[in-house]
Structure formats: structure tokens, C-alpha cells
Amino acid sequence: MRLIIFDLDGTLIDSKNDIADSVNYTLKRLHLPSLQNSLIYSYVGNGVLPLLEKVISCSNKKSNLENALKVFRKHYEEHLLDSTRLYPGVMEILKHFSDVNMGLVSNKPERFVKKILKGLNVDCFFPVVIGGDTLKTKKPDPEGVNMIRNRFGADLHETVIVGDGGVDIETGKEAGIHTCGVSYGLRDRKELVEAGAEIIIDDILELKNHFNSGFFNV
């Protein structure tokens, strides 16, 4: 395996509380009722706009989505590292595979992604970072994956995407690469199964078990 492409939220970082706090702050500013954190978590994964569309739709009141975006982005950028941390084992796995090319594809805006990676001291592992607004497309479109793969000259069979959501698995399938789901993140394991993940791991450190002499065992 020459290239590992990681998702961010729910895969490398536990960011759910900071996201939920910013969502409920936004709802409060819009004079809308707050939501249970668990419900907000279930909406994370497809980008900021879809997230806010879903949380606002939970209320019978109409609200200005453009204003909601403005409020959320400002608040989240100021608080995105309040409680966000790497999942256990992530730093160890990044160091373990430091001689393997690694990239990152997230549907979170690029500036947020880079600020988090730098704040958690893992930006050095990712020479290529694709955010939700880096390209005209975002996951599950395979454009970001293809761009990273071309950058490193990695063939399809030499590349794997690792993520916690069905959108990550769909992206990998669209790109024609290997897919690995993680069950400890923001999404339900059932979603990974239904998306057709080649393997599903319960701990990021299990990645070591699926690399044998440079080959992905599926």
C-alpha cells in the first residue's frame, strides 16, 4: 500500500462536541430551539451547509440559511479546538505509517481542517489536504481522492480510504480504491456495512493488522 487517504471528523478527531456547541449557538442566535447533541452528530459528514439545512429543518420556523452559515462559521472557527482531540491511537498510527504517503479528504471547509491539523500537531503528516471547498466537488465525488492519488503516483490497488461514514466508502468505491470503515466515529456501523466497506475496524490501531509486506489484506 502506497497511499492512505483519511477522513477527518469521526476518523482522526473527536470533534463532535465543538460542532454541536456551534450549531446550538447558531440556533440560539436565530431564535430557534436547541437540539440534542446526539441528533446533531448524526447530521455531520456532508459539510457545513447540509448540516445547517438539516438542523434548521427540525424547526417549523423559517430562517435565513446565509445568515446561519455566517454565524456558525465565525463561532466554529473561534472554538474548533475547545474540546476537539485526536482519537486514541491516532498519533501512534500516523507515526507508524510515516513512511507511507498520506492524504486527507474532508467535507469540512479547508481552512477549518488545516487549523485543526496544525493545532493538534499532525499537519506534518499530510502534505495534501482537500477540504469541502477546495474543489468544486466534495465527497462522495472522487475528484479529491483522484487528485491526491495522482499527486503521489499511486495506483488504484495501492490506495485505501479510511473513514467513519458511508460517504467515505462511497467515495472510495467511486474512485475504485480500497475502503476501510471505522466503527468508533460519528456514524453508525450499519451505515458502513450498507455502503459496502471492504473492512470495518473498531480501533484505528487495527490498521496495522491489514498491512502485510505492503499489501492490504481484504
190-218 tens-digit pLDDT: 999 999 999 999 999 999 988 754 545 54
Q: Is the pTM of this model over 0.85?
A: yes
Alpha-carbon distance of 138 to 198, in angstroms, equals 22
Residue at a domain's end among 58, 79, 100: 79
pLDDT per residue as tens digits for the range 163-175? 999 999 999 999 9
CA of residue 42 relative to chain centroid, distance:
13
The pLDDT value recorded for residue 60 is 72
Residue span of the structural domain in which 156 resides: 3-14+85-216
Residues 55 and 40: beta-carbon distance below 8 Å: yes
Kindly list the catalytic residues.
7
> How many CB atoms sit inside 10 A of residue 62's CB?
8
Q: Are residues 98 and 42 in the same domain?
A: no
Instruction: Write the CB contacts of 74 (distance below 8 Å, at least 6 apart in sequence).
Output: none
Q: Are residues 107 and 195 in the same domain?
A: yes
Q: How confident is the model at residue 85 (pLDDT cuts 50, 70, 90)?
A: very high
Q: Are residues 141 and 190 in the same domain?
A: yes
Alpha-carbon distance of 139 to 163, in angstroms, equals 11
Domain count, the chain: 2
Q: Are residues 10 and 37 in the same domain?
A: no
Q: Which residues pair with 63 in a beta bridge?
A: none
> How many CB atoms sit inside 10 A of residue 47's CB?
19
SS3 66: helix
Q: Which region, left, alpha or beta, applies to residue 213 given φ > 0 means left and ψ of -120 to 50 means alpha?
A: left
Q: Are residues 169 and 91 in the same domain?
A: yes
Angle at 93 between CA 87 and CA 94, to 5 degrees: 95
